Structure formats: C-alpha cells, structure tokens
C-alpha cells in the first residue's frame, strides 16, 4: 500500500500539504472569521479549480482557449436552474440535503462537458489564434443567450434557487472537487492520455505520425477541462446564491488565463499558487488604499504581472524550478 501511495502522489507531497493547509484554514474560518474571509476562501478554491482545468487546455495540451467563462456560465446556470426545478417538484426548501449539491455539481459538469464536446469537435481542427477567436465567440454567445433568456432572469440576474446553509459544507464540497481535479490531471500526466496531451502541444505532426489521434486527444482535453469549469460554475452559483450574466464576461476568462500564465503554462502547482495570488493580492492590498486614499491596488497588481512576465516568463513554475538543482519530472 505505501508503494501505491507514493505512486499516486508521484512522490511529491507538496500539493497535499497545500490542500491540507487550505482545508484547515477553511475549517478554522468556519467559526472563527467573518463572512468576507469565508467568501474569499471559497472563491479561492473555485478559482483554483478554474485555473487547473484551463491549464489542461492552454498549458498542457497547448490549445489557446478563451472560452472558460462560457463553460463556467453553462455549469452555473444549468445547476441553478436544475435546483430550482427540483425544488419546485420535490419541495426541498431550506433544508435540502447536502448530497443534492454534489449531484448538481456533477450535472453542471456534465452539461458543460457536453457543451465542450459540441464546441470542441468542429473548432479544435483550428489552430492558435483561430481557436482563440472561436472559443471567445462561444463564451460571448453564451452570455448573450443568458441575457436574453427570461426564464433564468435575463440581465436582471437569477436567484431564488437552492443554496447550502453552512459555509463548512460549501467549502468542503469545493475542496473535494479541487482535490479531484488536481489529482485527475496529475495522474493523467503519468498515463498515455496525458502524454498524448503533451505530444499535441509539442508537435502535432509528429504526434500523428506516432499514432496519436490528435483531434480526439484535443477534444478529450477540452471536455475534461470544461467539465471542471462547469463544476466550478455550480459551486459558485450555490455559494453566492445569485447569478448575473456580467460575472461570466470576458474579464472572467482573462482572470483565469492570468492565473495559468502567471503560474507557468503547463505547471499544476504553479497555477494553484497563481490562483492564490490573483485572488488574494487585490484584497491584501486594500489597507494600502485606506492609507493613501488612492486606488493603488490594481496598479500594483498589474505592475507585478508585467514584472513577472519580463523577469520570469516561465511564471511561478520557473521560479520554483530555479530553486531546484535538477529539472523536475515534467
């Protein structure tokens, strides 16, 4: 068993330590800290899921997608709508069993994954900028469709669906999906499918000549990635209990892309750390704003991004690597 344990973690226990740390933080926050900190913690975990899943397409498979907010929106709205429907037909009310949210997250993931399949199948034959434009267009279409659909609130926003009452549940649930997402990708990278992802990023023609079905491989990466985007959407929806289409605008995609790029394209640990920075730094800089009276937060935040990209284009992963003697297993 310990041997399997070692194998599973790839003999790298750093992410496990981080996850346990976040878990402990959340548990502590559940009765010690104010609700704003709790909100931030759940956002952090959701952002980590989003960053890890986008990293699978943009960093590991090397396809530049700009549609992650769209998949998240599909997950969020379908999960919210489904919970409303369940509530209406089965009268779950305030005391909905916690299990229902896990089922809703699964359903949200499945619907986003299906959307990923439908979008990916025709568009993943495109390369580089063209794929970016198609996925960007897709996520805008989703947003516009939501704005124009009265049943889910349209531009006014959508509320009144089921929401878990306890922070501890929301947090643990989100953390569970993060752990699942992280280890799925980590394990995949040690398997044939994961290596196929990497081969598509490195050289498609060579990959094809070795028998890798590159289109199928890309679609698989896309589906897995959008599945987790949908799950993140569902977690987000039920935690904040109110959705507006503006949340899923292009700016959201950009936020996630910043996490992936800042973390170092293709690095699992890097994008988790970057998610922490991107989520918490603007909040951490808030006291500075009170002190100076000017909104320096975004200035410092963007300056930091520019500096990292100039000094360390490989992102946080590159910074981590420079502390190690030998290039890692990647």
List of residues contacting other proteins (CB under 8 A): 4, 7-8, 183-184, 187-188, 190-196, 198-199, 202-203, 205-214, 220, 327, 329
Q: Is 149 exposed, middle or buried (0-12, 13-18, 19+ CB in 10 A)?
A: middle
202/283 with CB nearer other proteins? 202
152/178 with CB nearer other proteins? 178
Q: How far is the CB of 27 from other proteins (least distance, A)?
A: 26
Q: How far is the CB of 285 from other proteins (least distance, A)?
A: 35
62/245 with CB nearer other proteins? 62
9/169 with CB nearer other proteins? 9
Residue 90: how many other CB atoms lie within 10 Å: 10
201/238 with CB nearer other proteins? 201
Q: How far is the CB of 103 from other proteins (least distance, A)?
A: 19
188/276 with CB nearer other proteins? 188
HEC-encoded secondary structure of the chain: CHHHHHHHHCCCCHHHHHHHHHHHHHHHHHHHCCHHHHHHHHHHHHHHHHHHHHHHHHHHCCCCCCCHHHHHHHHHHHHHHHHHHHHHHHCCHHHCCCHHHHHHHHHHHHHHHHHHHHHHHHHCCCCHHHHHHHHHHHHHHHHHHHHCCHHHCHHHCEECCCCCCCHHHHHHHHHHHHHHHHHHHHHHCCCHHHHHHHHHHHCHHHHHHCCCCHHHHHHHHHHHHHHHHHHHHHHHHHHHCEECHHHHCHHHHHHHHHHHHHHCCCCHHHHHHHHHHHHHHHHHCHHHHHHHCCCCHHHHHHHHHHHHHHHCCCHHHHHHHHHCCCCCCC
Q: How far is the CB of 195 from other proteins (least distance, A)?
A: 5
Tokens standing for 134? Answer: 């198609």
Q: How far is the CB of 184 from other proteins (least distance, A)?
A: 6
Q: How far is the CB of 6 from other proteins (least distance, A)?
A: 11
282/318 with CB nearer other proteins? 318
Tokens standing for 82? Answer: 């489904």
Q: How far is the CB of 136 from other proteins (least distance, A)?
A: 27
Q: How far is the CB of 126 from other proteins (least distance, A)?
A: 17
Q: How far is the CB of 263 from other proteins (least distance, A)?
A: 16
CA distance 89 to 85: 6
210/307 with CB nearer other proteins? 210
Contacts of 116 (CB under 8 A, 6+ apart): 71, 222, 223, 225, 226, 227, 229
204/255 with CB nearer other proteins? 204
């Amino acid at each position: 068993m310990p041997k399997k344990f070692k194998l599973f973690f790839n003999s790298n226990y750093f992410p496990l330590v981080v996850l346990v740390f976040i878990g402990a933080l959340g548990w502590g926050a559940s009765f010690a800290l104010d609700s704003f900190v709790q909100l931030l913690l759940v956002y952090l975990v959701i952002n980590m899921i989003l960053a890890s899943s986008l990293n699978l397409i943009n960093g590991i498979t090397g396809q530049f997608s700009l549609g992650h907010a769209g998949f998240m929106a599909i997950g969020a709205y379908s999960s919210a709508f489904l919970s409303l429907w369940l509530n209406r037909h089965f009268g779950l009310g305030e005391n909905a069993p916690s299990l229902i949210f896990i089922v809703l997250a699964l359903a949200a993931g499945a619907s986003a994954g299906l959307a990923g399949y439908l979008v990916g199948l025709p568009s993943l034959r495109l390369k580089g900028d063209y794929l970016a434009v198609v996925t960007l267009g897709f996520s805008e279409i989703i947003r516009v469709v939501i704005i124009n659909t009265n049943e889910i609130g349209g531009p006014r926003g959508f509320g009144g669906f089921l929401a878990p009452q306890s922070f501890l549940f929301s947090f643990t649930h989100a953390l569970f999906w993060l752990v699942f997402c992280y280890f799925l990708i980590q394990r995949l990278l040690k398997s044939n499918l994961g290596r196929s992802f990497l081969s598509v990023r490195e050289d498609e023609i060579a990959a094809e000549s070795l028998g890798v079905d590159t289109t199928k491989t890309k679609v698989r990466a896309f589906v897995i990635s959008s599945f987790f985007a949908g799950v993140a959407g569902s977690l987000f929806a039920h935690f904040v209990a109110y959705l507006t289409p503006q949340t899923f605008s292009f700016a959201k995609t950009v936020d996630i892309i910043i996490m992936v790029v800042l973390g170092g394209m293709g690095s699992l640990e890097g994008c988790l750390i970057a998610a922490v920075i991107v989520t918490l730094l603007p909040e951490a800089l808030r006291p500075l704003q009170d002190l100076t009276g000017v909104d320096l937060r975004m200035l410092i935040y963007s300056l930091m991004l520019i500096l990292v990209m100039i000094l360390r284009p490989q992102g946080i992963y590159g910074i981590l690597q420079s502390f190690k003697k030998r290039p890692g297993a990647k």
